[in-house]
């Protein structure tokens, strides 16, 4: 049975940092399994990490994919039996997550990362974020709504990601799944 892990959370909760840490010790090949869908593939784990992870990019993952990517990602999910991991806003939404929950022979884990407002503000400052307050408030509302979705609740786990210790807890959880 394949495993799909979806990692989401407000901007600054550490999604990209966590995935980069997970990817670090493994060997990856940049691929485009279907048009518009960039990914990194690890043969050892038969695992696709969706999105772009270029060196030095602050914003990575699915956030670097086209706004029109969701139908292509659905096509890819339906055409493969490989494991999949992704993070970022582009496909971390209600319709796509519900689509994943309906896939046969698939174990789905939805991970929500959270951090305190002061931590988020400090992270925005550290990375020179220019995301508006309106955008950030919209992301917060989106994730609050997803956390109350009854269809997704059985697949959902929430993790605090304030510091390296918290990140290690999430990292160990993900590493056990793959």
pTM: 0.93
As given in the structure block, the two tokens for residue 52 are 């772009």
What CATH code is carried by the domain that includes residue 20? 3.40.50.300
pLDDT digits (tens, 9 = 90+) for 118-155: 999 888 888 888 888 888 888 889 999 999 999 999 99
- pLDDT of res. 132: 83
Long-range contacts of 157-162 (CB under 8 A, 24+ apart): 157/109, 157/110, 157/111, 157/112, 158/111, 158/112, 158/114, 159/111, 159/112, 159/113, 159/114, 160/114, 160/115, 161/9, 161/13, 161/14, 161/18, 161/113, 161/114, 161/115, 162/115, 162/116, 162/119
Ranges of residues in the chain with a pLDDT under 50 are none
| pLDDT score recorded for residue 23 | 94
96 lies in which domain range?
A: 2-177
Query: Which position has the token pair 């038969």?
Result: 46
- Domain count of the fold of the chain: 1
Write down the pLDDT at residue 84. 98
């Amino acid at each position: 049975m394949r495993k799909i892990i979806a990692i989401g959370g407000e901007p600054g909760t550490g999604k990209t940092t966590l995935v980069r840490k997970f990817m670090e010790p493994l060997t990856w090949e940049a691929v485009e399994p279907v048009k518009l869908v960039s990914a990194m593939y690890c043969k050892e784990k038969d695992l696709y990490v969706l999105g772009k992870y270029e060196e030095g990019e602050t914003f990575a993952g699915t956030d670097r994919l086209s706004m029109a990517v969701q139908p292509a990602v659905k096509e890819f999910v339906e055409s493969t039996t490989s494991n999949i991991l992704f993070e970022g806003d582009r496909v971390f939404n209600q319709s796509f997550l519900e689509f994943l929950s309906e896939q046969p022979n698939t174990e789905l884990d939805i991970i929500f990362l959270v951090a305190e407002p002061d931590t988020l503000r400090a992270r925005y400052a550290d990375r020179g974020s220019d995301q508006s307050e309106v955008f950030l408030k919209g992301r917060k509302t989106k994730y609050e709504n997803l956390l109350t979705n009854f269809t997704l609740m059985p697949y959902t786990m929430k993790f605090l990601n304030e510091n390296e210790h918290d990140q290690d807890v999430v990292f160990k959880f993900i590493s056990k799944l793959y």
